[in-house]
Amino acid sequence: SHRVMIFSKSYCPYCNKVKELFRSMRVEYYALELDVTDDGASIQQVLAELTNQRTVPNVFVNGTHIGGCDATYQAYQDGSLQKLLGENQITEPYE
Ligand code: GSH
C-alpha cells in the first residue's frame, strides 16, 4: 500500500512537479489521474467538499490532507512532510 495518494490530471504541470518531489525523496506514491477516469469529475467534486480544494494536485499522506503542489513543497521545506512520512527519508531532493 502507498502512503502517498495524489489526485492528479495527466496534463497538469503542478501535478508533475509534486510527483517529481516524491520521486526525488524516493517515496512511492499512487496517482489517480482524474481526467482519464470516467468518475473523475465526481471524485473532484467530493474532494472539493472534503478538502475545500478543487484544484489538482490534491495530496494526502497517510490519510492526512496536505493540499496542492505549493502546500506540499511548503510542507517539505518546513519538515512536516518528512515527519508525516516517517523516519529514514532522504532530506535533500535530487536536482
Ligand atoms: N497553486 C496550485 C497548486 O500549488 O497546486 C495550482 C494547481 C492548479 O492550478 N491546477 C490546475 C487545476 O486544478 C490544473 S494545472 N485546475 C482546475 C481543474 O482542473 O479542475
Q: Both ends of the chain: CA-CA distance in Å?
A: 27
- Tell me the chain's radius of gyration from C-alpha atoms: 13
The answer to whether the CB of 82 falls within 8 A of the CB of 18 is no
Ligand 1, atom 14, residue with closest C-alpha: 12
Is the C-beta atom of 9 inside 6 A of ligand 1?
yes
Q: Can you tell me the ipTM of this complex?
A: 0.97
- Global confidence as pTM: 0.90
Distance CA(8)–CA(31), nearest Å, equals 6
Ligand 1 atom nearest the C-alpha of 18 is 5
Q: Cα of 88 to ligand 1 centre, how many Å?
A: 31
pLDDT of residue 94: 56
Is the C-beta atom of 70 inside 6 A of ligand 1?
yes
pLDDT tens for the chain, residues 1 to 95: 569 999 999 999 999 999 999 999 999 999 999 999 999 999 999 999 999 999 999 999 999 999 999 999 999 999 999 999 985 455 556 55
pLDDT of residue 19: 98
Identify the helix (H) or strand (E) that includes residue 65: strand 64-67
